[in-house]
Structure 1
Amino acid sequence: MRNAISLAALSLGLLPLSGAAAPPLLAARADVSVTIPSGDTIIGSAADGVESFKGIPYADPPTGDLRLRPPQKLSTPLGTFNATGQAKLCPQGPIISFPTQQSPPEAAVVKETLAESFPLPTAEDSQSEDCLTITITRPEGTQPGDALPVLFYIFGGGFLIGGTSAALNDPLQLVQTGVAFGKPFIFAAVNYRVGGWGFMPGEEILNEGSANAGLLDQRMGLEWVADNIEAFGGNSSEVTIWGQSAGSISVWDQLVLYNGDATYNDKPLFRAAIMNSGSVTPVDPVDSEKGKAVYQHVVEKAGCDGNDDTLGCLRNLTNDEFAAAANSVPGLISYESLALSYLPRPDGKVLTASPHVLAREGKFHAVPMIFGSQEDEGTIFSWAQVFKQSMGSTDNITDYLSSLYFHNAERSLVKELVETYSELVEDGSPYRRGEYVPWIAYPGKKRLASILGDIVFTLVRRLTLENVVANRPDLPVWSSLASYNWPYGIFGTQHGSDTVVFFSRNNTYFPTLTGRSYYINFVHDLDPNVGLAAGIEWPKWTENNDLLWYNEALNLYLKDDFRSESYEFIKEHIDSLTF
C-alpha cells in the first residue's frame, strides 16, 4: 500500500501521531519472536504499533585481548535470546570539560542544549564493553517475505558518546509515520565502539592492523543485516544508511571504506545514503604526530609507559582503569572542541587516505545520496574557548586553529583562512540575527562559530558534493540547509537540532512532517520527491546547486553559494587544512 496521505491531514493531527515527544512504550501486549538463519530465536516485544528487538549481538564481546582490535563475528550460538530490554551503551568518552575548576554560569544552558542535540548518557543507562549489538524496530505484524526496505541508522555523538538506546534516537514515531503513510520500513540501528575503545590512534595501533575499530563495527553491523534482515521481514537489497553528526561522517566513511568497496557476498551492502551534518573530514593518518601523542598520553595515564607491550598492557586493564586513561583527553565540549582525539583516521587499508582525498579521487560507493546541514553548526562548539583565551582578534583565532587543528599548515595560511570571515558581529553564527548575540561579551565568538561550523560540516559538505558530481555527474544527489530554529534560541539552528526534528517531534510540526516525508520517499524510491507530497519539490543539487531550505513553517529554495570566499579558500587549500 503506497497511498499518499495529505500533509494537511497529518498536520492537523488527524492521524494518531500526536504528542510533544515520542510516547513511552506501553506495557508489551505480547512477545514476538523471529528465528534467524543461524537457527537462533530472537524474542522481542510489541507495543504502540511497532515491534522491537533490542541489543541483538552481532560480534564477540570486544573485551580482554579483543579490546582495541577489529570486531570478530559472533562465534557462539545465541539460542533463545531475550531482546526485550534496553541495549547496553558502549563505554562513553569524555563529554564536557571546562578550562577552569568551576563551570561557568553558561554551562547549565549549554548542558540543556546538549541534551536536546546529543545522545547524552544518563545515570539509568547501562554501559558495557560487551556492546556490539543491533536493534531492530519494525511495524507490528511484519512477516518474513514482506521485503520492507531498511533504514540503517548510525548514531552521532562526536565519536565519543551515544548508542542505540539513547532516547534522542528513539525511532518509534518515525516507524509509525511510515505505516501511516502506507510506506512501512524497518529501522535497524547499530551500536559501535566510541572514544578510545573504537578510535584509538597511534603507531602501535596502525602496525597491529587495529585502526578504526568503530568503523569496522558499523560495517559488521551492516553485514549482520545482510545476513538476517529478511527473517525480520526486510529486504537486504534495499538498505539505506543514515547518520547524524559523527554518524553522518561515518556514513561517508562507509561509502569510501576499502576504496569504495561496499560489497559483501557479492552484493552491495546498501543502495542509498543520507548524511545529516557530516561528510568528508580532512584528517591526518592514524600514526600522525597528534595520533602518536594521544596514544602516548593514554599509555602514561594508564601506567603502561615503559612496558614492552603497551597495547597488551592496555588490554590487561579493567574497563574502569582503561576508561580513566582513555577519557583523560579533552571532552567534546571543551576548549579543544572539534579538534578531537578520537575519530576515524587513514590507516592505509580500511581508510586508504583522508576521506576528502577519496572523494576527490572518486573512490566511493556510488549510490543516491542526501546531504543536510544545520544553519548554525558551529555555535555549540565555540563557546568554551573564551574561558581560556579571548577570540576577539584575528591573531588569537589563528593561534587557536594553528595549535589545535591545522598542524600541517603555515600560520600565515591559517590567518588567510580566518581573514575570509568577517569580524562584524552581525555576520557571524548564529546567522541572520543582526547584532543580537547572547554572548556579546565574548568578542570573536560568532566568527569562530562560523569557521568551526564550515570546516567540519557546512562548507566541506559543498566540497563533498562537488567531488561526487565531478566523478559521477549521473548520480542523483540532494542537499538541504535547516533553519527551523531561526530566530529563536541562543545557539540558532545548532548542530544536532535535526535529531529532535526527525525523531522526537510529532507530525504537527511542519519540518518534522516534511522531513520524514522526504526521507521515507527516499528509502522506498531513491527519490525524496516520489510518492508522498511533501510541499515543494526538492531539486537535485546537480541541477542548479540549489538547497532545500527547511524553515519552521515553509520550505524554500536556497542557492548553495553563501560564504563563497571562504569556500574557495578551503577548497584550494584543503590538503593543508587536515587535523
Structure 2
Amino acid sequence: MKAAVLLSLLPLAIAAPAAEPLEKRASPTVIAPSPGATVVGKSVLGVETFNGIPFAKPPTGNLRLKPPQPLTSSVGKVDGSQIPKACPQFFFSLDESNFPTNLLGVILNTPLFQTVTNAGEDCLTINVQRPAGTTSASKLPVLFWIFGGGFELGSTQMYDGSSLVTSSILEGKPIVFVAVNYRVGGFGFLAGKEILKDGSANLGLLDQRLGLKWVADNIAAFGGDPDKVTIWGESSGAISVADQMLLYDGDNTYKGKPLFRGGIMNSGSIVPADPVDGLKGQEIYDLVVSNAGCSSSPDTLACLRSKDYTTFLNAVNNVPGILSYNSVSLSYLPRPDGTALTASPDALVRAGKYTKVPFIIGDQEDEGTLFGLFTPNLTTTQDVTQYLSTIFFPFAPKSTLQGLVATYQTTIEDGSPFRTLLLNNWYPQFKRISAIIGDITFTLSRRIFLETTTAVFPDVPSWSYLATYDYGTPILGTFHGSDLLQVFYGVLPNNAAKSIRAYYLSFVYNLDPNVGSGQSNWPRWSSGKQLKQFGALANSFVKDDFRDDSAQFLRENLEEFYI
C-alpha cells in the first residue's frame, strides 16, 4: 500500500517547484480577447509559460455544483508566473473502514493542507505554454492536456508541459501546450436524482468543454491555431477525451467550427456506466447529504451549496476512494445524464454518436497492478468473485462474475504483471485480480472500443499501442501511470520516450503519427489489428488478440459490467 501511495503522488513530487533561473528579459505578455485579460507570464529555458488564466466564473456559493458559467467581463491583469490553484482534491477517503489511509485523508482535508497544496473551489483556470518568441502570427498546432486521477484528484499544477514544448522545438514541430483545470471528486462528479433534476451532472466534463471553448476564442493570441487542436489525456483524462468525443452525441462544434480535430488516449476509453440517477450514484449522493448534515433539509442540494468549504469537502470525501479497497469502483465518474452524455458511452459508440476524428489509443501492459495492491485479503478465486460482486458489480449475476474469473485460468499465463510466470504474485490472487481490473477498466475495454469504432466508421483512422518499457519492475511491471514518467515528463530519455513523443507530435501536426516522425511505420489498427509495442530499447508489434477468451466474455456480457 505504501508503494501505491508513493507512486500515486509521484507527479506531485516531479512537478514541485524548483529554483529555476529566469531568463533576464521582459516578461512575456499576451492580451487574451475573450472576455479580456492581460496575461503576464514567465520565460524559462526557451519556454514561455502563462499559468492560472481564468476561463469561468468561480464555482463557489450558489455556483457550487452548477455547470460552469462563462466569464462575461474582463478579468484584467493575470499574473501567469505563479503556480495555479488546484480544484479540491480527494486524496484518501475519510471513511474509518479505510484505516490507516483515512488518517491521511483527515490531514489532507484540513484547511491548512489545502492551502499548502494551493487547492480551493475558485480553480477553473487554464495554463498555456509555448516556445519563446512565439507570436500571434505563428499559428502553431495546439496540444490540449486533460489530466488523470480517477476523477478524484489531479490538477494542472502537477503537469508542467515545458519538456514537451522543448521536444517539439527539437523535433521541428513546435506546439502550444494547454492544460485545463476541471472539478474532480464530489465537486465535479456528484450524481443522484437531485443533481439530474437540477441539470448539474458531469460538471467536470462541462468544465473541460468550456476550457476548449476558451481555447477557440483566445489561443490565437498566444500563437496557437484554434483549427488545429488535439485533445490528449491519461487515465481518467483519457476517459475524458473519449467522453469529449461523445458529448452531445458527438457534436463538438462551437461557433460553427469543431473544437478539436484529433484525440490521444493513454490508458482509458469508454467506461460503461449506470445513469446519474441510478442506484450507485444515488447511494453516494445520499451519503454525502448525510455527511454534510443535510438529510432533514427540504432541499438537500441547496443545503450542500450552503455549507462552508471544509464541511462540504469532508462530506464528499467521506465515501470510498480510488486509493482504497474499492480501487477503480469509483464513487465519482461521468454518468449518462440524458443531455450532455445522453447514454452510456458503450451505447453511444455503437450508435455512432461520437465525433469522427482520428485518434491514438493505448495501454500500459500491467494496468491493474497498482490497484491490486489494495486487496491482499483475496486468497481464492471465490474471494475474487465475491470482491467483484460486492465492490464493483452488485447487480450482476454471480454466475456471470464466476464466468469472467474463470477466463483467467492461471496466474502464470493470465496474471499481471504479465509474462512473469511464477514471479510477482505478491499474495495468492494478486496477479489474477490485477489482470481482471486492468482488463475491464483499460486494456480489453480499449479493444472493444476499437472494434466498435472500426465497424461503425471504418474510414476514421486509429492507431493503438501497448507499452512494455517497464517490464521487469518487481510486483508492478509496466504499471498504470508509468507513462507519465516516460511520455509526459520524459524523465527517462530512452527509446520509448523518444519514439512516442515523435509519433505524437507528428499526429498533432498531420493527424497521422507516421508523417514526418522519422520512426518506423505504425499501421492503423484496422490493418491487421496490431499494436505498436513500445519497449525501453526498441519497438515491435504484438497482435491485439491476447486474452481473447476474456475479451469475448466481456463483449457478450457488457451490460452486466456497468459501474
Give TM class, smaller chain: over 0.9
What is the deviation of 1:100?
5.8
User: Which residue of the partner structure matches residue 10 of structure 2?
Assistant: none
Match runs of 1:251-400 below 5 Å? 251-386=241-376, 390-400=377-387
CA distance in 2, matches of 1:103, 1:202: 27
Cross-structure match for 1:227? 217
**Do structure 1's residue 164 and structure 2's residue 164 form an aligned pair?**
no
CA distance in structure 1 between the partners assigned to 2:474 and 2:87 by the alignment: 32
2:437 aligned residue (428, 452, 467)? 452
| Residues 99 and 334, structure 1, Cα contact 8 Å, conserved in 2 | no
Q: CA deviation at 1:103?
A: 6.3
In structure 2, C-alpha distance between the alignment counterparts of 1:42 and 1:532, rounded to whole Å: 34
- Contact kept? 1:362, 1:467, Cα under 8 Å: no
Matches within 5 A, 1:521-560: 521-534=506-519, 536-560=520-544
Instruction: Give 1:330 shift.
Output: 1.6
- Residue deviations 1:103-140, cap 9 Å, x none? 69xx99xxxxxxxxxxxx99842011000001000000
Change in Cα spacing, 1:86 to 1:20, as seen in structure 2 (3 Å) is closer
Counterpart for residue 27 of structure 1 = 22
The CA deviation at 1:170 is: 1.8
For 2:61, the equivalent position in structure 1 comes to 64
- Alpha-carbon contact 2:425-2:431 (below 8 Å) kept: no
Q: 1:8 — aligned with what?
A: none
2:201 is paired with a residue whose SS is coil
1:405 — aligned with what? Answer: 392
Q: Paired residue for 2:467, among 474, 482, 490?
A: 482
Which residue number in structure 1 is paired with residue 556 of structure 2? 572
Alpha-carbon distance in structure 2 between the residues aligned to 1:546 and 1:532: 19
Q: Please tell me the residue identity of whatever aligns with 1:480.
A: Y
Deviation per residue, 1:523-549 (Å, 9 max, x gap): 001111111212x21111010000000
Q: Are residues 87 and 420 of structure 1, via their aligned partners in 2, closer, same or farther at CA, if it must alter by over 3 Å?
A: same
For 2:500, the equivalent position in structure 1 comes to: 515
Q: Does residue 432 of structure 2 align to residue 437 of structure 1?
A: no
Partner of 1:13: none
From the superposition, tell whether residues 177 and 21 of structure 1 become closer, same or farther in structure 2 (CA, over 3 Å).
farther
Q: 1:459 to 1:22 in 2, by over 3 A?
A: farther
Per the alignment, residue 117 of structure 1 pairs with none
Secondary structure, counterpart of 2:230 in structure 1: strand
Does residue 1:491 correspond to 2:491, yes or no?
Answer: no
Question: Which residue of 153, 157, 162 corresponds with 2:145?
Answer: 153
State the 1:267 CA deviation.
Answer: 0.4
Q: Corresponding residue for 1:505?
A: 490
Among 190, 200, 205, the residue aligned to 1:210? 200
Counterparts of 2:149 and 2:420 in 1: how far apart (Å)? Answer: 27
The residue type paired with residue 448 of structure 1 is I
Counterparts in 2 of 1:298 and 1:102: CA distance versus 1, 3 Å: closer
Indicate the larger mover: 23-32 or 277-286.
Answer: 23-32
1:47 aligned partner: 44
AA partner of residue 545 (structure 1): K
CA displacement 1:225-267 (0-9 Å, x = unmatched): 0000001011000000000000000000000000001000010
Q: Does 1:192 align with 2:182?
A: yes
Aligned 8 A contact 1:373 1:482 in 2: yes
Higher mean displacement: 55-64 or 496-505: 496-505
Q: What stretches of structure 1 of length at least 5 have no aligned partner?
A: 1-18, 109-120
Q: Which amino acid aligns with 1:229?
A: I
Equivalent pair of 2:288/2:318 in contact (CA under 8 Å): yes
Q: What number of residue pairs does the alignment pair up?
A: 539
Question: Per the alignment, in what secondary structure is the counterpart of residue 444 of structure 2?
Answer: helix
Is the CA contact (8 Å cut-off) linking 1:256 and 1:358 kept in structure 2?
yes
Distance change (3 Å), C-alpha of 1:22 and 1:63: closer
Q: CA deviation at 1:277?
A: 0.3
Deviation of the 1:436 alpha carbon: 1.1
Residue 428 of structure 1 pairs with residue 412 of structure 2: no
User: Does structure 2 retain, via aligned residues, the 8 Å contact 1:346–1:353?
Assistant: yes
Identity in percent? 48
Structure 1 residue 37 displacement after superposition: 1.8
Deviation at 1:82, TM superposition (A): 1.4
Equivalent position amino acid for 1:450 in 2: A
**Contact between 1:255 and 1:364, CA under 8 Å: does it hold in 2?**
yes
Q: RMSD over aligned Cα, in angstroms?
A: 2.1
Which secondary structure does the structure 1 equivalent of 2:508 belong to?
helix
Question: Per the alignment, in what secondary structure is the counterpart of residue 380 of structure 1?
Answer: helix
Q: Structure 1 stretches (4+) deviating beyond 2 angstroms?
A: 19-30, 94-104, 121-125, 423-427, 503-508
Match of residue 117 from structure 2: 125
**1:88, 1:126 within 8 Å by CA — same for their partners in 2?**
yes
Q: Distance in 2 between matches of 1:75 and 1:317?
A: 27
Q: What residue in structure 2 maps to residue 112 of structure 1?
A: none
The C-alpha deviation readout for 1:284-325, integer Å capped at 9, x for no partner, is 111111111100000001000110011111111111110010
Alpha-carbon contact 2:98-2:324 (below 8 Å) kept:
no
Partner of 1:14: none
Task: Give the counterpart letter for 2:154 in structure 1.
Answer: G
- From the superposition, tell whether residues 501 and 24 of structure 1 become closer, same or farther in structure 2 (CA, over 3 Å): farther
**1 CA distance for matches of 2:231 and 2:196?**
27
Q: Give distance in 2, aligned partners of 1:509 and 1:524.
A: 23
Indicate the SS of the match to 2:56. coil
Distance 1:103 1:220 in 2: 35
Please give the residue correspondences for 1:229-248 in structure 2 after superposition, counting only pairs within 5 Å.
Answer: 229-248=219-238
Closer, same or farther in 2 for the Cα pair 1:290/1:220, shift >3 Å?
same
Any gaps of 5 or more consecutive residues in structure 2? 1-13, 105-112
**Worse-superposed segment, 40-49 or 209-218:** 40-49
Aligned residue type for 2:173: K
* C-alpha separation in 2, matches of 1:20 and 1:203: 38
Match of 2:80 among 78, 83, 86: 83
Equivalent residues of 2:93, 2:318 under 8 A apart: no
Letter in 2 for 1:578: Y
Aligned 8 A contact 1:22 1:503 in 2? no
Paired AA for residue 513 in structure 2 = P
Distance 1:100 1:251 in 2: 31
1:11 aligned residue: none
**Match for residue 143 of structure 1 among 131, 135, 158:** 135
Deviations 1:517-573 (A, max 9, x none): 000000001111111212x21111010000000111010001000000000010111
**In 2: Cα distance, 1:325 partner to 1:406 partner:** 24
- Residue equivalent to 1:37: 33
Are residues 102 and 58 of structure 1, via their aligned partners in 2, closer, same or farther at CA, if it must alter by over 3 Å? closer
- CA distance in 1 between counterparts of 2:530 and 2:99 reads 47
Q: 72-81 or 182-191, which moves further after superposition?
A: 72-81
CA distance in 2, matches of 1:291, 1:187: 35
- Contact 2:411-2:421 within 8 A present in 1 as well: no
- Partners of 1:296 and 1:523 in 2: CA distance: 43
What is the deviation of 1:94? 3.4
CA distance in 2, matches of 1:294, 1:209: 18
Structure 1 position 466 matched with structure 2 position 464: no
Q: CA 1:422 to 1:163, structure 2 compared with 1: closer, same or farther past 3 Å?
A: same
- Quick one: which amino acid aligns to residue 294 of structure 2? C
SS of equivalent residue, structure 1 residue 76 = coil
